[in-house]
Amino acid sequence: MKGILGLAASAALLAASAALLAASGDAFAVGALANVTIIDRDSGATLSTYYSNGEYWVAGRPGARYAIEIRNCIGGRLLAVTSVDGVNVLSGATAGFDQAGYVFDPGELYQITGWRKSHMEVAAFTFTDAPNSYAERTGRPANVGVIGVALFRERVPRQSFVPPPGSPPIGELSAPATGRSAPAPAASPPPTASAGASSESAAGLLAEGRAADAVTHPAAKLGTGHGERESSYVVDTEFRRMQHEPNEVIRIRYDSLENLVAMGIVRPARPSPPGPNPFPRARERQFVPDPPG
């Protein structure tokens, strides 16, 4: 089966806007075979992950570009079939386990930054109102608001051929190193991700109708738009799966912070009253002020 070897475009580092955060939110990675985090590419921040009612959530910032960052945590290659809003990020087809994905070498870190348009370009992932999402614009609104990664181990032949040094990898769409050093291992989340998903169907990547969805949202539900074209180079490679069903399925749901607060997934930070002043009559030190105008 064919896959992709990708080089991610570098993300612009801009000033991060202040956000309303809950005490329970941490920027830990989700997954065992691979660590998956969501990156706000406009601020450079790793989005905090919230765990509620058996699901992982992140708060997206409307209008921001984002990336799905995946790091292979095992000693062999992994295939990551990746979906956004129930749509395969490589082909645009309704997502299923038997589709193409990105291949990661052992320990490799790569950011999937958009909908793949060719071996040279992607259309950037952007957080947007659900009606403007790629899924809804293509008539598939049912699963807007979820990111899925189905991980497959590679089948290693008994007498494997060892290519000479410097030979290109053989496999699916594979993600070579991005030139950044891998981060330190992330803190483990409270429960483990859904490993060994042999009984999961293709619908396992899609969002289920949970109680949180029944809550009235104060703002429009967030989806993923089809953003501007960006350079992102990939090559084809070969990959033989160890089994037909994924070895692990990772699902991360997302919405705006305002909606996550309304659903009770994020607890707003309580303002703390000012503390007592030991010198209430003391004046603060003065420096030369700016001239008028």
DSSP states of 50-111 as a string? EEETTEEEEEE-TT-BEEEEEEE-SSS-EEEEEEETTEETTT-SBP-TTS--EEE-TT-EEE
Picking from 273, 255, 272, the residue whose alpha carbon sits closest to that of residue 264 is 255
What pLDDT sits at residue 273?
81
Cα-to-chain-centroid distance, residue 76:
22
Domain encompassing residue 82: 2-262
User: Looking at per-residue confidence, does 189 or 119 come out higher?
Assistant: 119
Residue 282 resides in a domain: no
What pLDDT sits at residue 114?
98
What pLDDT sits at residue 6?
42
What pLDDT sits at residue 162?
56
Q: Residue 157: which pLDDT band, with cuts at 50, 70 and 90? A: confident
Q: Residue 169 above 60 pLDDT?
A: no
Q: How many domains does the chain have?
A: 1
Q: Residue 46 above 50 pLDDT?
A: yes
Lowest mean pLDDT among 54-58, 191-195, 238-242, 272-276: 191-195
Residue 270 resides in a domain: no
What pLDDT sits at residue 145?
97
3-state secondary structure of 202: helix
Range 212-232 average pLDDT: 80
Q: Which of 163-167, 234-238, 276-280 shows the highest mean pLDDT?
A: 234-238
DSSP for 204-270 reads: GGSPP--GGGGSPPSSPPEEEEEEEEEE-EEEEEE--BSSSS-SEEEEEEEEEHHHHHHTTSSPPPP
User: Looking at per-residue confidence, does 144 or 206 come out higher?
Assistant: 144
In tens, the pLDDT along 28-42 reads 789 999 999 999 999
Picking from 79, 133, 122, 70, the residue whose alpha carbon sits closest to that of residue 244 is 79
User: Looking at per-residue confidence, does 241 or 164 come out higher?
Assistant: 241
User: Looking at per-residue confidence, does 249 or 17 come out higher?
Assistant: 249
In tens, the pLDDT along 62-85 reads 999 999 999 999 999 999 999 999
Residue 276 resides in a domain: no
Rg (CA), the chain: 22
Residue 57 resides in a domain: yes
Cβ atoms of 8 and 231 within 8 Å: the answer is: no
Residue 117 resides in a domain: yes
Residue 284 resides in a domain: no
Picking from 180, 169, 208, the residue whose alpha carbon sits closest to that of residue 67 is 180
- How far is Cα 184 from Cα 217, in angstroms, rounded to an integer? 36
Residue 107 resides in a domain: yes
What pLDDT sits at residue 184?
40
What pLDDT sits at residue 51?
94
**Per-chain mean pLDDT for the chain:** 78
Residue 292 resides in a domain: no
In tens, the pLDDT along 96-116 reads 999 999 999 999 999 999 999
Q: Residue 163: which pLDDT band, with cuts at 50, 70 and 90? A: low
What pLDDT sits at residue 187?
43
User: Looking at per-residue confidence, does 191 or 128 come out higher?
Assistant: 128
- How far is Cα 108 from Cα 242, in angstroms, rounded to an integer? 19
Range 271-276 average pLDDT: 81
Provide the token pair at 278.
Answer: 């030991």
